[in-house]
Amino acid sequence: MASETGAIAPKKSKKPNTHLLYIAVIVAVGLGILVGFVSPETGIALKPLGDGFVSLIKMMISPIIFCTIVLGVGAVARAATVGKVGGLALGYFITMSTFALVIGLIVGNIIQPGEGLHLAAQESSYTPPESEGGGSVDFVLGIIPESLFSSLTSGSVLQTLLVALLVGFACQSLGKRAEPFLKGVQAIQTVIFKVLAMVMWAAPIGAFGAIAAVVGASGGKALQGLLLIMVAFYITCAIFVFGILGAILYITTKINIFKLLAYLGREFLLIVSTSSSETALPRLIAKMEHLGVSKPVVGITVPTGYSFNLDGTAIYLTMASLFIAEAMDRPFSLGEQISLLVFMIIASKGAAGVSGAGLATLAGGLQSHRPDLLDGVGVIVGIDRFMSEARAVTNFAGNAVACVVIGTWVKEVDREQLVNVLSGRDPFDELTMSPEHAEHPEHATR
């Protein structure tokens, strides 16, 4: 439709109806709790609904792991080629993600939110590997797939991980000749994430069946356990952001983290409404540049951080894994926790972009180490949606802090501009993010 000046009005981008899914999950959880209390037998009988949703998530594990790892290795190569900034960014991201995973394990072991729930699991054919004899040898040989492609269909996450790493390093060594293949993988990943987004619309049904079954079997104790892990997760994320990240930011730059997060207030509201930090990626880039961080640092740090600096997801993965194991009376041994930690350091890369990817990564970690716990993912389905906002917000805050810290380390921050922006003397011009500005940037004013 033409305007009075004769210009064609830009089309408004269609917003995803993720808020409808959020409301649907809340309603489904409430109904599931009600059914579980009023008619426990009916609630237990609804367990297949939760199991069915877990199966849908399970079918997404291998393709998601393959694509994210292949593209992640490629991201390492691209970041490594930009010299000092890329090297510092990768080192910082891997350190902080590992630290977040360790914190999740520590908190999970201290509070033990799933203890005493005694949730009955379906019979599993899983048998833990023998600690003596040929057990370890058989385990290692079992990681090697029969063929390159069978790893994607065998259901073995470790086989998929091995092939993805080999393919990623092969692409890395081929350089530009591998770019067409990587673009193909990127296109496949886009389709897979779209399928995952479609699968997530079944979350209300899965949450209804899972919560009804859990409450029907364990009553109020199950709700206490679920509420405990939710509250503990939120508190842990808050401590990580305001305590650890805040301390790093202040020691490095003398900036109060509350001022930085207040500057990004609109972005946090956007993230909470969509449960994905990727929706705020363009705005984070624009705001970091306006803050005074140089374009090269922002261009390297922010996109790479979205794949490698997933602090909230890391905390969630370890705490949720321990909760499921304890709730099913099959706790992890110390060795299994360390092994899971190593797997999650690799597999968590790339889980920030799509709502639901964290749940798929959790299922992948359990399937790779303790397949007997995979059915327990249904227990967490009902509250996963409520925890996804904290994951996304923590991921976003971590990347914002990383951008300023790394920019300070390499002396690529305009300190005067940074102070003016955070003090409110030079506010961000929202018109620069409007569709009109994108089509006619010459009309924008500062």
CA distance to 203, 319, 322, 390, 437, per residue, from 309 (Å): 27, 18, 22, 15, 30
Hey, what are 43's tokens? Answer: 């609630």
Rg (CA), the chain: 23
Q: Which of 358, 357, 326 is nearest to 105 (CA)?
A: 326
Contact 66, 163 (CB under 8 A): yes
**1 found inside a domain:** no
Q: Report the C-alpha gap between 253 and 156 in whole angstroms.
A: 45
309-362 pLDDT per residue, tens: 888 888 888 888 888 888 888 888 888 888 777 777 766 655 545 555 667 778
pLDDT category at 134 given cuts 50, 70, 90 is: very low
Q: In terms of Cα–Cα distance, which of 73, 62, 96, 86 is closest to 398?
A: 96
Q: At which residue do the structure tokens 């590992």 appear?
A: 98
Q: Tens digits of per-residue pLDDT, 150-204?
A: 777 766 667 777 888 888 888 878 878 888 888 898 898 888 878 887 887 888 8
**Ramachandran region of residue 102, left (φ > 0), alpha (ψ -120 to 50) or beta?**
alpha
Tell me, yes or no, whether 9 lies in a domain: no
Is-contact 202 23, C-beta < 8 A?
Answer: no
CATH of the domain at 284: 1.10.3860
Query: What is the residue range of 370's domain?
Result: 25-432
pLDDT at 296: 82
Whole-angstrom Cα distance, residue 64 to residue 70? 10
**Cα distance between residue 427 and residue 384, in whole Å:** 36
The model's pTM is: 0.71
Instruction: Identify residue 381 by its one-letter amino acid code.
Output: V
Nearest residue to 319 via CA among 341, 342, 351? 341
Token pair listed for 316 = 């969630």
Is 2 part of a structural domain of the chain? no
Q: What is the pLDDT of residue 149?
A: 78
Helices (H), 153-178: 157-174
Q: Tell whether 344 is covered by a domain.
A: yes
> Which 8-state DSSP code applies to residue 354?
S
Q: Which residues contact 7 (CB under 8 A, 6 or more apart)?
A: none
* Distance between CA atoms of residues 247 and 354, nearest Å: 29
Examine residue 381 and state whether it is found in any structural domain, yes or no: yes
- How many domains, in total, are found in the chain? 1
Residue 248 has pLDDT above 90, yes or no: yes
Residue 270 lies in a domain: yes
Residue 216 scores a pLDDT above 70: yes
C-alpha closest to that of 60 among 375, 358, 311: 358
Confirm whether 445 is domain-assigned: no
State yes or no: pLDDT of 405 exceeds 90: yes
Angle ∠(52,222,341) on CA atoms, nearest 5: 70
Contacts of 397 (CB under 8 A, 6+ apart): 241, 245, 261, 264, 311
Pair 210, 47: CB distance under 8 Å = yes
